[in-house]
A and B are shown apart, each in its own frame.
Chain A
């Protein structure tokens, strides 16, 4: 569960990215954040992942007020969520399996267990058998799916994705979105920021439309 309560975010350069944003996302729901670039989608995701802190207002993630999470507690906080980036953010000098395994290694999961779960995650995104490949040997779409496998491998309760289909052709994009939908169907709360209204329409899920740092519409409200 995620709740934003009158959240303001002003960056050090004076730009106000969010101006009194309030919404609530239920557990296990798939939600799209849409709007033009600069509307505040990325800021919302950054506040959820504690990459940024709100200037004002409350951000509650998994029933936990993020204001109460101190700097020392951030690593632990982040382990309960998976993050997917537009530019994948994979480590190019390591094979796919190591990239996917990273959250498990950090969490201290035993080696044997890691191998099993990495294969399971790669299977979910349709990349089983590519464990030993280097990220650059894969297509953009495959790299994005490696990023998704890494985000879900530690079985987070919350998955957030920032423009995950930005670099993909429509067909691949739809496939990735369906993947997110499948995760939400097994109980993971999924928040996807995307400006691709057409694509979102195809998937069919709740939308929060942002405009100039405010919630302009929610569908369904």
Chain B
């Protein structure tokens, strides 16, 4: 058989299997729908997660340390400490907020202006805002820096407000794992669903398979249209999944932008890109093909003319 004849035969079977699928539109639609839902669920969650990571990614830089000076420390001492800290290799920058600046800021921001006037003394200490270098900006790095500074003289307390960032990242990490697990299970589900659909299809066409075997069809030849059916199911299900995710993203885009606006952010929901979209289609076709291969190989071998 020539190469051309080989390809034209495959093409015929490929198109033929599509025709067969469209003969039972409802059943085929159901199978594709199950694939679509099984794919769309983890896909959409991963999209949300990716967006959450994008939104919180730059919060790593928020690991600044607030160093509160002892009330008794002089302005000169504060300046000296700032200078000392700037020399450290793990410190990128030190900003001084004097007690007066802090009070002025607090007065304008808090709305407690008149109440503050009642105070005889400025209750606020001088503060140093210490930004670690990028290399030292890890949770551990900042923790080390914190203990070093806290041990210095004239330092009252050192605060890092990173706990919630850490928790957020831990939560995202956990979600990511849950998502992977779910996606894995749903992937197995797709294989089983397609496998079962193809199995029923094979049993329905038992007589035909027997006849084909009697006139000399090999198992591979008999199996081929069923494998192509699997490919079509995967393709249809994958496209439907992308459609579902697209609709969901569109529906959520406005509320998300609104929410981000209220938080003073220009964050916008990122939809699915072309390459990951193609990867999803590929995965869908692959899983579906695997399901049909498992069913076809097993059940076609079992059918023998009698």
Q: Which residues of B contact A106 (CB under 8 A)?
A: 212, 215-217, 221
Contact between chains at B304 and A51 (CB < 8 Å) = yes
The residue that A89 contacts in the complex, of B9, B207, B219, with Cβ under 8 A, is B207
Tell me which residues from 73 to 116 in chain B have a Cβ below 8 Å from any Cβ of chain A: none
Q: Which residues of A contact B213 (CB under 8 A)?
A: 75, 78
CB of B8 closer than 8 Å to a CB of A: yes
The residue that B306 contacts in the complex, of A51, A77, A78, A90, with Cβ under 8 A, is A51
Count the A-B residue pairs with Cβ separation under 8 angstroms: how many? 50
Measured CB to CB, the nearest residue on chain B to A76 is B216
Chain B interface helix/strand/loop/mixed: helix
Q: Which residues of A contact B207 (CB under 8 A)?
A: 89, 91
Determine how close the nearest CB of chain B comes to the CB of A107; give it in whole angstroms.
7
CB of A195 closer than 8 Å to a CB of B: no
CB of A102 closer than 8 Å to a CB of B: yes
Contact between chains at A102 and B5 (CB < 8 Å) = no
CB of B208 closer than 8 Å to a CB of A: yes
Q: Which residues of B contact A102 (CB under 8 A)?
A: 211-212, 215
Contact between chains at B5 and A110 (CB < 8 Å) = yes
Measured CB to CB, the nearest residue on chain A to B20 is A93
* CA of A64 to CA of B277, assembled, Å: 55
Tell me which residues from 92 to 112 in chain A have a Cβ below 8 Å from any Cβ of chain B: 102-103, 105-108, 110-111
Q: Which residues of A contact B217 (CB under 8 A)?
A: 75, 106
Q: Which residues of A contact B219 (CB under 8 A)?
A: 75
CB of B27 closer than 8 Å to a CB of A: no
Q: Which residues of A contact B208 (CB under 8 A)?
A: 91
CB of B171 closer than 8 Å to a CB of A: no
* CA of A89 to CA of B215, assembled, Å: 11
Q: Which residues of B contact A110 (CB under 8 A)?
A: 5
CB of B214 closer than 8 Å to a CB of A: yes
Determine how close the nearest CB of chain B comes to the CB of A83; give it in whole angstroms.
6
* CA of A165 to CA of B219, assembled, Å: 31
Measured CB to CB, the nearest residue on chain A to B213 is A75
Determine how close the nearest CB of chain B comes to the CB of A73; give it in whole angstroms.
10
Q: Which residues of A contact B148 (CB under 8 A)?
A: none
Which 6 pairs between the two chains have the least Cβ-Cβ distance? Answer: A79-B216, A78-B216, A75-B218, A108-B1, A103-B215, A106-B217
A and B contact pairs by CB, cutoff 8 A, 13 listed? A51-B214, A75-B218, A75-B219, A78-B213, A78-B214, A79-B215, A83-B214, A91-B208, A102-B212, A106-B221, A108-B5, A108-B9, A110-B5
Q: Known pairs A51-B306, A78-B216. 8 more at Cβ < 8 A? A: A49-B214, A51-B304, A75-B217, A91-B208, A105-B9, A106-B221, A108-B9, A111-B8
